[in-house]
Structure 1
Amino acid sequence: MELRTLHYFLTVAREQSISAAAESLHISQPALSTQLKGMEEELGKQLLIRGTKGSRKVVLTEEGMILRRRAEEILSLVQKAEEEITRSDETIVGDVVIGAGETDSVRLLAQAARGLQKQYPDIHYHISSGNAEYVLEYLDKGLIDFGLLFREPDPKKYEWLTLPTGDTWGVLMRRDTPLAQKAAVCPEDLWELPLIISHQKGDDRHLSQWMEREIAELNVVATYNLVFNASLLVDEGLGYALCFDKLIHTEGTGLCFRPFSPTLEAPGYIVWKKYQIFSKAAGRFLQAVRERISDGAHGSS
């Protein structure tokens, strides 16, 4: 299967029309149709459901949706490889791609990037947000250079630096609730309340230990992936969100954050694949992160 054909297929998937895709690609519609048919014959699967005479819209089959996802990954990796190979030896330019969940620890990475900015203005940074499963999947596929995680990485697959500070757990709640009058929240304060918790694997184990209850014993009314969405549920009175501090700006709003008591902190790790060969830009960024951690007199793994 040729890269060009994958590009054709993605264009059709984006335009949802063979004629519109052909116009975008500057090729004839019959030629594009022939390429698509050849791809389907090669794979032995129907990828597109062609529209009827009344509609020119095409729809991806289940196999077509799988191919679309993989084709995007393949072409992204090819583009990244081409850029890394063709970079000038005289300057450090390129992209650094980081996968991270919502966390204030991104500040340390931002500080490292800012420190490099004057010397290497042609390094560009891309933050791809998602939970730990998303970050690890993209890290394994080589689609990101680094991942920012709050679970201890697998030493067989990854190397990492331990960040000097972690994120503090607590409760995001409405200011008009009785619990908001407390400076900190104890486990028993939450046992009977409607809770909104992260659906990220690993978080439930730490929360369960702190709560002194199994998650199944609690009144969990909703789960979230992104805490901003959870804050909207809290604001509408659905429940109390268990989350990290400093992620939602509560000043001047109807919400407030209260930390756990006893304190529950999640250590952070900047992670990369073992034996990974970095681009010059990514290698220099990692060095800057190391220096940032070292300046704070904190060790690394």
Structure 2
Amino acid sequence: MEVRVLRYFIEVVQERNISNAAKRLHISQPTLSRQLMDLERKLGITLFERGHRQIKLTQEGYYLYERAQEITGLVDKTETDLQSQKIISGTLDIGTRESTAIQPVMTVIGNLLKEYPDIKINLVSGNSDLIYQRLNNGTLDFGIIMGPEKLLNYHSISLPQKNIWGILVRKDHSIAEKEKITPQDLIGLPILTSAQSKQQDVFRSWAGPLIDQFNFIGQYNLIFNARLLVETGACVALTYQNLINITGTDLAFRPLTPTVTNQNNLIWNKNRQLSNVAQVFLNRLTEVQ
């Protein structure tokens, strides 16, 4: 597969129309159609369900679209890194979950952007699985992993601030009258928790056998969406402190007791050399640790 053809394919998917994609690519529609048909023939698959107005991806098409984005992204990043070794420029790619505890990292990045105007930043929000995958395939320079994780295959440094767990709840809920939440307080309540924390089982040591009486009704990836459900009064959500601004809302945050925290670790691949800009970032972050 040629990278050029993969870029054609991505453009068609995003435009959902071969004619529009051809105009954006500055090539003729027959040429673009022929390139796509050649790609399908070489792969032995059908990429599109072709309609009168728009085209839709087949299952194989969706798979190639995701991989094509990774491949072209890696090519672009490689070219940028190679061209920027003598000056401090290029793109810094960092993957992380959401937390106010990563503010020191953002402060360092902010200072670099001010000092070196040629630097670009790409922030990728996602869970640990996504971060590990992109670190391994080279599309991320660094990842920030929260909670207990096995980091033997990665270089890592611990960040100073920790995440504090608690519940997000409506102010008019009886449990909101408590300053801190014990395991007994959550028995029987409908609870949302993050998909990542559910996998790590971070609350079992805190709640002990009482966790078997917890009513976990679902999971969320983004707390903003979970917050909308909590506002209905249908449930409470386990989340980090200060993850969203609830000032002036009907919501309250109450920390767990005994306190439950997660460590934040900046990690990077042991088997990949850091780019110029990535090394400068790491040096600056280490200086302020």
TM-score range, shorter chain: over 0.9
Matched, 1:76 2:73: yes
| Counterpart selection for 1:134 from 126, 130, 135 | 130
* Identity %, equivalent residues: 38
Partner of residue 260, structure 1: 256
Partner of residue 291, structure 1: 287
Q: Distance in 1 between matches of 2:113 and 2:62?
A: 39
Give me the CA root mean square deviation. 1.7
- Check the 8 A contact 2:154/2:268 in 1, yes or no: yes
Q: Distance in 2 between matches of 1:198 and 1:57?
A: 36
Tell me the number of residue pairs that the alignment of Structure 1 and Structure 2 aligns: 289
SS in structure 2 at match of 1:238: coil
Q: CA deviation at 1:175?
A: 0.7
Q: Distance in 2 between matches of 1:115 and 1:75?
A: 29
Q: Distance in 2 between matches of 1:202 and 1:151?
A: 11
Q: CA deviation at 1:119?
A: 3.3
Q: CA deviation at 1:118?
A: 4.3
Q: Distance in 2 between matches of 1:160 and 1:208?
A: 26
Q: TM-score, normalized by length of structure 2?
A: 0.94
Q: CA deviation at 1:214?
A: 7.0
Partner of residue 170, structure 1: 166
Q: Distance in 1 between matches of 2:248 and 2:53?
A: 51
Q: CA deviation at 1:153?
A: 4.1
- Which segments of 5 or more consecutive residues in structure 1 lack a partner in the other structure? 294-301
Q: CA deviation at 1:204?
A: 4.7
Partner of residue 115, structure 2: 119
Partner of residue 7, structure 1: 7
Counterparts of 1:1-301 in structure 2 under 5 Å? Answer: 1-51=1-51, 55-87=52-84, 89=86, 91-200=87-196, 204-213=200-209, 217-293=213-289
Q: Distance in 2 between matches of 1:152 and 1:183?
A: 27
- Sort the Cα spacing of 1:145 and 1:88 in 2 relative to 1 into closer, same or farther, 3 A: closer
Range moving further from structure 2, 62-71 or 215-224: 215-224
SS in structure 2 at match of 1:206: coil
**Deviation string for 1:237-283 (max 9, x for gaps)?**
12111111011212211111111110111111011111321111111
Q: TM-score, normalized by length of structure 1?
A: 0.91
- Check the 8 A contact 2:194/2:239 in 1, yes or no: yes
Q: In the alignment, residue 206 of structure 2 is paired with which amino acid? A: W
- Check the 8 A contact 1:150/1:267 in 2, yes or no: yes
- Check the 8 A contact 1:152/1:269 in 2, yes or no: no
SS in structure 1 at match of 2:116: coil
- Check the 8 A contact 2:148/2:200 in 1, yes or no: no
**Deviation string for 1:25-78 (max 9, x for gaps)?**
222222112111111111111111222xxx132111111111111111111111
- Which segments of 5 or more consecutive residues in structure 2 lack a partner in the other structure? none
SS in structure 2 at match of 1:200: helix
Q: CA deviation at 1:184?
A: 0.6
